[in-house]
Chains A and B, each alone.
Chain A
């Protein structure tokens, strides 16, 4: 009998952490992620989860605790949002550089100044180049399933994983969620084996200063320089693609739910126009696509599930047939365009994909993005393209730009 309960995205994340037998949790409160550590405190203090909870004095320290605890061999977790994630920025690099399988939940929230507690994805998109895997969820079921998958992926490729989902839209919205069976999760997720054992019996100096060039060790073996280590991280990110896809498939075999590997599609097989997005905005676009189809416009949706490593091969495939592409995203790379749109277009370079691409910057700082508005925007873009204006364009949706 499936255990289905109505819960928020943050509850789903906390339950997944418990099911994953995390051993060390460190967190600092920040809206809208706060109820994750609150729930985990409850589990740990009541003895439901056997773990150390370190109530740190900052997000910088939260991720530091995770880094050092993971280094000595514990499975770790932290959660944050917005400025908390930005305050972790230095440690995000350090965690990936240390090749530690840390899992972090980011309940996405806009970034100040001025202050906003509401949702957009500027916080995590701005951490794109820190060397973390980024997986985005579109509903609460995906959150619980993705956190469990994240540990298996991270511990296989030794890269930290950020599981991102929209603040309030998912973090505080109740939805039915099927809770995976605890024993089945334990079987799916073998115990964490650190890549380096830190122990007085075998002393090592971990992450010391390193020269640009390769250098001999005391035994005369030529060891990596800084660049070789960076290359290995990049290659591991590239290779993680196969692990992410296979983990998603294995999870589907065991638990019966497949949320897509690198991306998911909705009615793209015969679509002339494809709407693309990350997270809940892409879910919203599926409703818009149905409306458009009722009007005779063959619309489909591509949801980018994994933003890093970027699904470059999948993107080339799924957009192949499109006559027009509209990218809706809750972030902006200032001075250029939406980060997702730029990446999608870059993946097309050298392929036969010549469809016009419109980029919609939407929902910043929690401004509502309705399916109706996505449908309207699509009609407007199609009209413009039909009238011969096919050049790339960035449009701020539902924003007074006059």
Chain B
């Protein structure tokens, strides 16, 4: 495990000049995801921002083999790759599915739940940019309360985001983790760990999105940090049922420090129509969950 970035795999698998937006949180994270997974990997990805990042035929920006699949089918596609490789006695390859929050929380959840219940030996990665960003910022079940999207354009989203980690934990997985591109070493460590474990592993990347969240592209890392420092995003891992804070969240839990959510929300145009009541609701939602995590970490 690298204690710092100098010890990270120096090979690059995501080449420069890809089609991701300026300041894309996914592309920051994805670079380290691939570094941790290394060469002996087959990817499968559905329609998403990542399809765009991977490039348009016949050029690709990623040097790891990738099988594109339909929106609802990501985890089933991974199941098929695993089954095919097993049948051909090529079980040394890590199969990794990467989908957005739409492809995970919404249209992909059935296939994901099925693959997880079957204990399929693969890593499922959800990069959560909290909406259908590739189609132009529509509401998903991962969109936070109070956010403007093109399908919640006046009233903002009225519901909290779905707790996908809880849903996936209910599948009794050997490994689950949350990550942020603002903390690349923490992210890298978790993918290295995930690669070594057998069975269904589920990792989430909280990926800030400048056009969708409406903030300047230069602020992606800052926004990602604020998400963690306010407790909106909590960095943790659950290995064989054992919960553990990691990285910045661990320090915060030890010191008992947590910034108010307003510090995070005021920097994003998507929250500009949020009411005071909604802000209070989000703060309560964050506090309740944070306390739950603290309790779990103590046990």
Query: Which A residues are closer than 8 A to B by beta carbons?
Result: 23-24, 26, 51-52, 54-58, 60-61, 64-74, 76, 90-91, 94, 198-200, 202-211, 215-218, 221, 223
Contacts and interface: CB of A to CB of B under 8 A. Distances in A.
Contacts of B58: 215-218, 221, 223
Nearest to B38: A200
Given A54-B118, A61-B111, A208 B56 contact: yes
Interface stretch (B83-91, B191-199, B243-251): B83-91
A60 B73 contact: yes
Interface size class of B (residues with CB under 8 A): 35 or more
Main secondary structure of the interface of A (DSSP, over half): mixed
A54 B73 contact: no
A67 to B, nearest CB: 6
Interface string B183-197: 000000000000000
A74 B87 CA distance: 7
Contacts of A24: 80, 83-84, 87
A78 to B, nearest CB: 11
B136 to A, nearest CB: 16
Nearest to A75: B87
A218 B59 contact: yes
A211 B117 CA distance: 38
Among B51, B54, B84: residue with most chain A CB under 10 A: B84
A41 B68 CA distance: 29
Contacts of A60: 72-73, 76, 111
B56 A69 contact: no
B294 interface: no
A204 B67 CA distance: 8
B23 to A, nearest CB: 22
B84 A68 contact: yes
Q: Which 8 A-B pairs have the closest CB atoms?
A: A68-B80, A57-B114, A69-B84, A61-B76, A23-B87, A64-B76, A65-B80, A72-B84
Interface string B57-99: 1111011111111101101111111011111101001000000
A204 B203 CA distance: 24
B77 A68 contact: yes
Contacts of A73: 84, 88
Interface stretch (B40-48, B138-146, B275-283): B40-48
Q: Which of B59, B70, B80, B93 has the most CB of A within 10 A?
A: B80
A218 B59 CA distance: 6
B84 A71 contact: yes
Given A56-B114, A65-B76, A68-B78, A207 B84 contact: no
B12 interface: no
Given A56-B79, A69-B84, A215-B58, A205 B52 contact: no
B78 A208 contact: no
Contact of B62 (A26, A72, A205): A205
B65 A54 contact: no
Nearest to A210: B57
Contacts of B268: none
28 contacts: A52-B83, A55-B118, A56-B79, A56-B114, A57-B110, A57-B111, A57-B113, A58-B111, A58-B114, A60-B76, A64-B76, A64-B77, A64-B111, A69-B83, A73-B88, A94-B69, A198-B67, A203-B62, A205-B68, A206-B66, A206-B68, A207-B68, A208-B57, A210-B56, A210-B57, A211-B57, A215-B58, A218-B58
